[in-house]
Chain A
Amino acid sequence: MTDKPNPLTTQEVARAVASQSDPAPADASIKIRARDVDFFYGQKQVLQGISMDVRERKITALIGPSGCGKTTFLRILNRMYETVKHARAEGEVVLDTDNIFELPLPNLRRRVGMVFQKPNPFPKSIFENVAYGPRVHGLANGARLAEMVEQSLRGAALWDEVKDSLQKSAFSLSGGQQQRLSIARALAIDPEVLLLDEPCSALDPISTAKIEELLFTIETRCTLVIVTHNMAQAARVADYTSFFLMGKLVEFNDTKTVFTNPAKKETEDYITGRFG
């Protein structure tokens, strides 16, 4: 259900961006620092010299046409690319003060969670889905675990809908609910960063709106990085926006500036729909 990004009229952009709060102060601390990141599938280079900062407790959107490398870059941040043979990342990515390539994987993924494009609940009950992460990391059991599950489900705005049916299979939920379950599952281990890979592209507009609202509440406890095909969504939701094109980071700035006063011509062309 991915579609071409809608060309926004200047008025739409202005409206969307104006509905946000003021752009973040320039000294908001940096949660993830990427410098000169290159990425290869075998011999083929897919990302070139990506350098950007992800600011703490802000929403950073990665936008760009299909195949530009934004999802590839996202998946570097929690080293998910390592499941693919011959995939190789070079460069520097630092989470707070830790080099992510040297962190043990379970630690990295505890701190940097991920929500995927297609809701992917486990074939288990709703409760067990959310409890999976805490169980894996040995965070809690018994009553404390039940509390964590409830908190996470509340944090994903799903608790009221499922509190009486926690033992039901996760497959009994609708698509939008399953995606919120995936978010609850990711929140259950209290990550510092949450990566979202086009989380709404498989959902209807109402579910999409619910999740976008949710992102604002999660932002208060978590740094968010979201890949989106939907420029309007980036304009609605993100504090910062990165524009990727053909494996390169063309422009990175606060969302208002990127959409109303882009520095590069390619950015302007993309945003106004001259290509997609």
Chain B
Amino acid sequence: MNRLTWRKWVNVVMSAVTALCALVAVAPLLFVLGLLVVKGASSLNWAFFTKLPVPVGETGGGIANAIAGSGQLLLLAALFGVPLGVLGGIYLSEFGGWAVPFFVRYAADLLVTVPSIVIGIFAYAVVVLPVGHFSALAGGFALGVMLLPMVVTNTEQFLRTVPVWLREGSLALGAGHWKTIVSVVVPAGLQGILTGILLGLARVAGETAPLIFTAFNNSYWNRGWNQPISSLPYMIWIYGISAYDDWHRQAWAAALVLLGLVLLVNVLSRLVLARGMAARKAT
């Protein structure tokens, strides 16, 4: 075989091999999704989304309180993690110095790697013990602690992409540093910041371990921020390890719902971000 043919075949084979590897890398996601659809799709109906759980043996229960509970927990997590995280990210990106930003950044990186169950225990010690019982607040706090470093890092990253000449345009008009940050830099990086927040929320939405010690669970509608609250991941866990087939069926369906919501937020966020970047580049 002459040299040219050899090179052509190498190209073809390597293209096929790398494509295969890429597919294999994506395969677990496809498997998980496929399995969940097969096992759980049949259980999805309107009642499932709108009714409360019923005692074992009865049919027709739903996960309405778990969905609502997850929503409430995410809201609390956002209230705790987003303002602090965004301001922290602004500090790291816009204000100078060497030592403090270095340590803050390092601490944020480390916090992301802390096991979620450890964060749960931390929240237990800080919120649950003093108050004396589990609560949505404690759960939201735990998720907020997990969300915080992600928002800080993401905010810093996107603010750094705002070009120097945009800031200079504001400074040259006589605006001060903080005014420039608030009126020009943050709006310019806003799309990326918001996307990062959404992706962070999607990530913490699936965390179970921190909720074990904090939000605990609630088979009924949550009755207040200071009461235990149900959540999708928790419910999946409890139902999944139970001995009842009906609960297993519901766990599959709930897992499908959770994964579906997470994927939806991911895909939408990235689409919106990509469109924003394209619009900026086009000018």
Could you list which residues of chain A lie within 8 angstroms of chain B, going by C-beta atoms?
A: 78, 80, 83, 85, 105-110, 113-114, 116, 118, 120-124, 132-133, 136-137, 171, 178, 182, 185-186, 189
Task: Report whether B165 and A136 are in contact in the complex, using a CB–CB cutoff of 8 Å.
Answer: no
**Option from B165, B170, B280 in Cβ contact (under 8 Å) with A132:** B170
| Number of A-B residue pairs at CB separation under 8 A | 71
Task: Report whether B173 and A189 are in contact in the complex, using a CB–CB cutoff of 8 Å.
Answer: yes
Task: Report whether B173 and A113 are in contact in the complex, using a CB–CB cutoff of 8 Å.
Answer: yes
Task: Report whether B168 and A120 are in contact in the complex, using a CB–CB cutoff of 8 Å.
Answer: yes
Complex Cα–Cα for A258 and B164 (A) = 35
**Option from A116, A136, A185, A189 in Cβ contact (under 8 Å) with B168:** A116
* Identity of the chain A residue whose Cβ is nearest the Cβ of B162 in the assembled complex: A123
Q: Which residues of A contact B83 (CB under 8 A)?
A: none
Q: Which residues of B contact A107 (CB under 8 A)?
A: 174
Complex Cα–Cα for A80 and B164 (A) = 12
Give the B interface residue count (CB, 8 A).
24
The verdict on A78 contacting B168 (CB below 8 Å), with A123-B187, A132-B183 known, is no
B283 interface hit (Cβ, 8 Å): yes
Q: Which residues of A contact B96 (CB under 8 A)?
A: 85
B104 interface hit (Cβ, 8 Å): no
Task: Report whether B174 and A189 are in contact in the complex, using a CB–CB cutoff of 8 Å.
Answer: yes
Query: B174-212, CB under 8 A of A: which get 1 and which 0?
Result: 111001000110011000000000000000000000000
Task: Report whether B165 and A120 are in contact in the complex, using a CB–CB cutoff of 8 Å.
Answer: yes
B99 interface hit (Cβ, 8 Å): no
Task: Report whether A109 and B171 are in contact in the complex, using a CB–CB cutoff of 8 Å.
Answer: yes
Complex Cα–Cα for A190 and B245 (A) = 77
Could you list which residues of chain B lie within 8 angstroms of chain A, going by C-beta atoms?
A: 96, 163-176, 179, 183-184, 187-188, 279-280, 282-283
Complex Cα–Cα for A222 and B283 (A) = 30
Task: Report whether B176 and A116 are in contact in the complex, using a CB–CB cutoff of 8 Å.
Answer: no
**Option from B173, B183, B283 in Cβ contact (under 8 Å) with A171:** B283
Q: Which residues of A contact B172 (CB under 8 A)?
A: 78, 80, 109, 113-114, 116, 186
CB pairs A–B below 8 angstroms (10 shown): A78-B172, A80-B168, A83-B168, A107-B174, A114-B168, A114-B172, A116-B165, A123-B187, A136-B174, A182-B169
Task: Report whether A83 and B173 are in contact in the complex, using a CB–CB cutoff of 8 Å.
Answer: no
Complex Cα–Cα for A186 and B176 (A) = 16
Task: Report whether B173 and A136 are in contact in the complex, using a CB–CB cutoff of 8 Å.
Answer: yes
Task: Report whether A133 and B174 are in contact in the complex, using a CB–CB cutoff of 8 Å.
Answer: yes
Complex Cα–Cα for A85 and B184 (A) = 22
* Identity of the chain A residue whose Cβ is nearest the Cβ of B279 in the assembled complex: A171
The verdict on A122 contacting B166 (CB below 8 Å), with A136-B173, A137-B174 known, is yes
Complex Cα–Cα for A124 and B188 (A) = 9
